[in-house]
Amino acid sequence: MANLDKTYDPSKVEGRLYEKWMEKKYFHAEVDRTKDPFSIVIPPPNITGQLHMGHALDNTMQDILIRFKRMQGYSTLWQPGTDHASIATEVKIVKKMAEEGLTKEDLGREKFLERAWDWKKEYGSVIVDQLKKLGSSCDWDRERFTLDEGCSKAVEEVFIRYYKKGYIYKGARLVNWCPVCETTISEAEVEHEEKNGHFWHIKYPVVGEDSFVEIATTRPETLLGDTAVAVHPEDERYQHLIGKKVVLPLVNKEIPVIADKYVDKDFGTGVVKITPAHDPNDFEVGTRHDLPQVNVMNDDGTINKHGGVYEGLDRYEARKRMVKDLEALGLLVKVKDHAHNVGMHDRCKTVIEPLIKQQWFVKMEELAQPAIRALKSGELKFVPERYGKIYLHWLENIRDWCISRQLWWGHRIPAYYCEDCGEVVVSKEAPTTCGKCSSTKFRQDEDSLDTWFSSALWPFSTLGWPENTDELGYFFPTNVLVTGYDIIFFWVVRMVFSSMEFMGTVPFNTVLIHGLVRDSQGRKMSKSLGNGIDPLEVIHQYGADALRLTLISGNAPGNDMRYYDERVEASRNFANKVWNASRFILMNFENHTHREVALDELIPADRWILSKVNSLVKEVTDNMEKYDLGIGVSKLYDFIWEEFCDWYIEMVKPRLYNDEDTTKAAALWTLKQVLITSLKLLHPYMPFITEEIFTFIQDREESIMISSWPEYKDEWSFKTEEGEIELIKEAVRSIRNVRAQMNVPPSKKAKVFVVSDKEDVRNTFEKGKVFFATLGYANEVMIQAGEEGIDEDAVSAVINDATIFMPFAELVDIEKEIERLEGEEKKLQGELDRVTKKLANERFVSKAPEKVVAEEKAKLEKYSSMMEQVKERLVHLRK
């Protein structure tokens, strides 16, 4: 049997093994009616993306589950693919074109899209290649792209069906608008950052009275679009003003005072300006009170014709001018500093402007109901359950979904307009004749669909829908979706209601939520903080297995985790521990004829470790099934490091080194069984090192990836032997603790007495005498019922049903110990003299800082205590 290299080098192993897995098609899934299916769809990363720690965690968790189920015998599909990422991709391409002095309009739509596809060919596979370095066992033969022909067909089909059912409409509503990219963006693309700003307190004169109301705003420029001011209907301060009017400053237009419970009467002045075209809450108030909607901004963030003298100014320049003019008119009361959250476009970092725009929307009230029922009925579940409440809250308060984007890269909206009468036709192909006016002139809508519209169909569009493919019938619905808590609303909800509408069932049974990977200080990783960790650099330095183990260790569903370099170093050390233990076992197989061993040939130590790994199989399998991946690997880590390596391997060494020992074959057989079982349990977490060792330790299965998952065996349950060995371990720990307290080095051997009046306890130690002597640093082990023959000065340790004795003289060289302690006594006396003299000095005590005096007193107490212990020990030794 060949042996492993002396040291484990991930860089020499991981790439080679991944190529082998790819060549052998181990990742590929087939429809196999003789097996149960298990499927996961990857949250499609953006083609603009680079692997970050969030991706690494998300994909590690998916890979663990898919490898686990593959080994369990399921026909497993991990469906991979990438997202076209409309805004992110277009921003990059436009930026690159700008360097050439070109704009989109210079090229035209078709030429621009040619460039976009070229960009995708060049850069679109970068993140896929990075996922492969992580060990992701996706079925790359089935890789999809949200703009590929099949997914595009599905998107078109869904749009048309929604439209025919009356769920899709075009109308003017408030949207998130990016003035730089000049497009609507989804909530997913808005990042909220706390920024230092101001509250500007402004007077609004009351019409017909010599009085005014005071409002406070963080955006004075939107004042130009105010169409009312509002107070709470129960606010006694302003009852007399309800129904009256105020003069809108700078615009000199009269607007009404309305009453609405939206107003918080205890916040600020209790009066708020209502700008329906520039604030989502104001939009709702305006709708309730039928207020006009006055949009005062152009698409580029400049003030439009409704801004009067401020027309053409950038929104922030207009703000400065308006504040100056309000001050000149005596209408600016005060300016207060105010820190508040500001919505930013995550791509270009521009402050978002809520604007009323003509856009395409999906009506959500009816579509949301089946998605709500799916959770309440248990058809869909979240792990942890608490995220189901967030899902429900969002669905029960859902607003219509804006699905159009002012972009060219994406799925173009399949709507056509008659150029003569304006009739709108939604169809897969451009109409030839207008059914209303018989015109033949049509133009297609210029907008593209929100990226989330296509990714909402991902679980079934990737399997061939709208065609009724074998894969769709077999692998759908998928089993579990793994995703971060930050996109429950944006993606999970949309996949569920889309699937309920078009497939009649949920897209997955379980949503496994994980938290964020934060830095060592608990901060979110970001470019602005410069605290991001590149997973590829970690892989290069420590290996993919070490990174994977770090990300999953101690990771509880839904909770954030912190990344420390020390943790990944510990994971690397664990990999080395597994490697060295495996290498040791393989070395002992050299020149030894391996044979099968019957269970009755095993001694208690063998049965103990076999029983422990058997229980481990049951527990880890149960943890995996319940998605407690972090708990499962923690149990594995502890078992391999402590029980197997630190205990059992040490226990069997005397047998391995003795060719005359008749139980050597049993020891080797047990080592192999436990190692193989441990490797299989560990494989989903650490695929590379387990595969490399597995191919050396056995020759029955060609790859650990397609080997069978361990199962609990009744015949491997040895509870009696477990109790026996745990008792011996307790004795060994007691011996080690005593020796550590006495500073006795491991090389110093001593006689050990095990005293128990119980025959079964004595028998236990008798059967384990050989390895007990080794582990307990004993040159001789005496097992007896009474304390005869034991020196009076023997040190002892009490364990369950027995007492361990060790002759003091054998542990310590008394003359040398006396000499050492006398030296310690002299040293302590010197310290005591120094401190006593210092504290006896009245000048020092009166003038030194109180803290310094207290420190000296503490030293005196400490040295006095140490001196007392040294003297007591000397008296005992000199006897």
Q: What is the pLDDT of residues 437-493, one digit of tens each?
A: 999 999 999 999 999 999 999 999 999 999 999 999 999 999 999 998 887 778 999
Last residue of a domain, one of 766, 790, 812: 812
Is it the case that residue 346 has pLDDT exceeding 80? no
What is the pLDDT confidence band of residue 28, given thresholds at 50, 70 and 90? very high
Write out pLDDT tens, residues 740-782: 888 888 888 999 999 999 999 999 999 999 899 999 999 999 9
Same domain, 624 and 636: yes
- Give the pLDDT mean for 833-847: 91
What is the pLDDT confidence band of residue 349, given thresholds at 50, 70 and 90? confident
Write out pLDDT tens, residues 692-733: 999 999 888 899 999 999 999 999 999 999 999 999 999 999
Beta bridge partners of 75: 37
Classify residue 747: in a domain, yes or no: yes
Looking at residue 554, its pLDDT comes to 82
Looking at residue 528, its pLDDT comes to 65
Is it the case that residue 233 has pLDDT exceeding 80? yes
Query: Among 361-370, 501-510, 556-565, 660-669, which is the least confidently predicted range?
Result: 556-565
The CA–CA distances, whole Å, from 204 to 221, 253, 541, 664, 742 equal: 15, 11, 64, 95, 84
Give the C-alpha separation, 694 to 681, whole Å: 12
What is the pLDDT confidence band of residue 595, given thresholds at 50, 70 and 90? confident
Classify residue 385: in a domain, yes or no: no
The answer to whether 527 is a known ligand-binding residue is yes
> SS in 3 state form for 545-576?
HHHHHHHHCCCCCCCCEECCHHHHHHHHHHHH
- Give the pLDDT mean for 204-213: 93
Same domain, 807 and 870: no
Beta bridge partners of 194: 341
Beta bridge partners of 254: 247
Return the CATH number at 227.
Answer: 3.90.740.10
Classify residue 334: in a domain, yes or no: yes
Same domain, 758 and 822: no
Same domain, 567 and 690: yes
Write out pLDDT tens, residues 798-834: 888 889 999 888 887 778 778 877 888 899 999 999 9
Is it the case that residue 878 has pLDDT exceeding 80? no
Element (H, E) at 617: helix 604-625
Q: Which residues of 370-406 are buried (b: 16+ CB within 10 A; e: fewer)?
A: bbbebbeeeebbbbeeebbebbbebbeebebbbbbbb
Write out pLDDT tens, residues 413-444: 999 999 999 999 999 999 999 989 999 999 99
- Give the pLDDT mean for 539-549: 96
Query: Among 511-515, 805-809, 855-859, which is the least confidently predicted range?
Result: 805-809
Classify residue 800: in a domain, yes or no: yes
What is the pLDDT confidence band of residue 524, given thresholds at 50, 70 and 90? confident
What is the pLDDT confidence band of residue 372, given thresholds at 50, 70 and 90? very high
Is it the case that residue 1 has pLDDT exceeding 60? no
- Give the pLDDT mean for 782-788: 92
Classify residue 439: in a domain, yes or no: no
Query: Among 48-62, 152-166, 629-643, which is the least confidently predicted range?
Result: 48-62
Is it the case that residue 110 has pLDDT exceeding 70? yes
Is it the case that residue 570 has pLDDT exceeding 90? yes
**Taking all residues of the chain, what is their mean pLDDT, rounded to a whole number?**
92
Q: What percent of the chain has pLDDT over 90?
A: 74
Of 455, 408, 329, 397, whose CA–CA distance to 110 is shortest? Answer: 408
Residues in the chain: 879
For residues 870 and 577, the model is more confident at 577
Query: Among 258-272, 558-572, 584-598, which is the least confidently predicted range?
Result: 584-598
Number of CB atoms found within 10 A of residue 823's CB:
11
- Give the pLDDT mean for 187-213: 88
- Give the pLDDT mean for 181-203: 85
Last residue of a domain, one of 717, 741, 769: 717
Same domain, 603 and 712: yes
Same domain, 680 and 566: yes
Number of CB atoms found within 10 A of residue 489's CB:
18
Same domain, 822 and 687: no
Same domain, 819 and 841: yes
Return the CATH number at 700.
Answer: 1.10.730.10
Give the C-alpha separation, 298 to 318, whole Å: 13
Asked if 333 and 214 touch (Cβ cutoff 8 Å), the reply is: yes
The values of phi and psi at residue 477, to 5°, are -70, 155
Give the total number of structural domains in the chain.
4
pTM for this entry: 0.86
Same domain, 821 and 798: no
**Residue 568, token pair as written in the block:** 């990944």
Return the CATH number at 859.
Answer: 1.10.287.380
Looking at residue 593, its pLDDT comes to 67
Give the C-alpha separation, 165 to 345, whole Å: 33
Last residue of a domain, one of 673, 694, 717: 717
Same domain, 708 and 835: no
Same domain, 730 and 824: no
Classify residue 316: in a domain, yes or no: yes
Same domain, 270 and 234: yes
Provide the domain limits for residue 282: 193-343
Classify residue 379: in a domain, yes or no: no
**Residue 414, token pair as written in the block:** 């399949």
The CA–CA distances, whole Å, from 209 to 108, 198, 204 equal: 58, 29, 11
Looking at residue 488, its pLDDT comes to 76
Is it the case that residue 668 has pLDDT exceeding 80? yes
- Would you tell me the crossing angle of helices 687-697 and 10-23 to the nearest 10 degrees? 80
Classify residue 13: in a domain, yes or no: no
Asked if 668 and 693 touch (Cβ cutoff 8 Å), the reply is: no
The CA–CA distances, whole Å, from 202 to 353, 414, 752 equal: 22, 47, 89
